Structure 1
Amino acid sequence: MWEDVVPPLKTILESQHHLSQIQLSFQDNKLEGSFLKNGWPYSFWAFFPNEELTGPKGFSLCSYGWGASTVEPFLVDEKKITAKHVVFWVEKRLAAQGIIPVWKE
């Protein structure tokens, strides 16, 4: 799943001119990401405890160097989840927090 999630998500994040030091990994059933936005640290993770996209999933975000947010359900209403869904919803979660733009120009 690494090759289907990390490269496209990294491309999306690298296209944001105000983000730097972007790091992404997918290991131990967890997608982890960190970056700086205008010098402020952010990190997030999405986890898949059953090692599959169709099982339970969660998402958490940390901003300005503070502790992680409450773990939120992630992709709970989707029936046939693919790696493209994971990339899409991580992008949308970051946009909802105002970290990346909602609309592309």
Structure 2
Amino acid sequence: MAEEQEKAAAKKPPKKEKPPAVEDKPFGEFMEQHFTPALQAAFAKQGIENVELAFENKPLPKSFGVQESCWQVEGKWQKGDRQFNLYYFDESITGAKGFSSSTYGKPPSTLESFMIDERKVTLDLMVLYTLQRLNGEKWLGRN
């Protein structure tokens, strides 16, 4: 019986190691190489062209009354008439995040929490939540 088990174990191919998830990459690398291109593709799928996405560390808008800076994804389209920002306060996709939007070049008036209830943050969820939030502004189509 033990011989049969040994033969069966010898026939099994060795377990393949899973490559690390893209979300496990360093923050900047993940955002630049995975999130912003995936978000750009999602906008194109929605029929929204000419979206400018930028990922950079810069100060929060003055309208928030805070002089902190953090990593941000800024999106603009319709010649800047529509703009949104995703804020990453902890330089991590799993840390504290915020969202703001504005129109016609005006500064945003509200900083909202973003993706606060997610236990596991994935690339697909980040794109989905961003689109859902923009759809809530009725920017992606008719509701």
Same fold, judged at TM 0.5 (above): yes
- Are 1:31 and 2:31 counterparts? no
- 1:63-78 alignment, distance < 5 Å: 63-78=103-118
Higher mean Cα deviation, 59-68 or 89-98? 59-68
Q: How many residues align?
A: 100
Separation (CA, whole Å) in 2 of partners of 1:83 and 1:102: 26
- Are 1:48 and 2:48 counterparts? no
**Match for residue 58 of structure 1?**
98
Show structure 1 runs of 5+ residues with no match: none
Task: Kindly state the Cα deviation for residue 74 of structure 1 after the two structures are TM-superposed.
Answer: 0.2
- Are 1:22 and 2:51 counterparts? yes
**Match for residue 83 of structure 1?**
123
Give the letter for the 2:41 counterpart: T
When you count helix as a share of all residues, which structure comes out higher? 2
Deviations 1:55-90 (A, max 9, x none): 111000011332213000000000111222211111
Give the letter for the 2:135 counterpart: A
Separation (CA, whole Å) in 1 of partners of 2:113 and 2:142: 21
Normalization by structure 2: what TM-score?
A: 0.62
Normalization by structure 1: what TM-score?
A: 0.82
Runs of 4+ that moved beyond 3 A = none
CA-based RMSD of the aligned residues comes to 2.0
Instruction: Considering Cα pairs closer than 8 Å and 6+ residues apart, tell me whether 1 or 2 has the greater RCO.
Output: 1
When you count strand as a share of all residues, which structure comes out higher? 1
Does the 8 A contact of 2:97 with 2:116 survive in 1?
yes
Task: Kindly state the Cα deviation for residue 35 of structure 1 after the two structures are TM-superposed.
Answer: 0.4
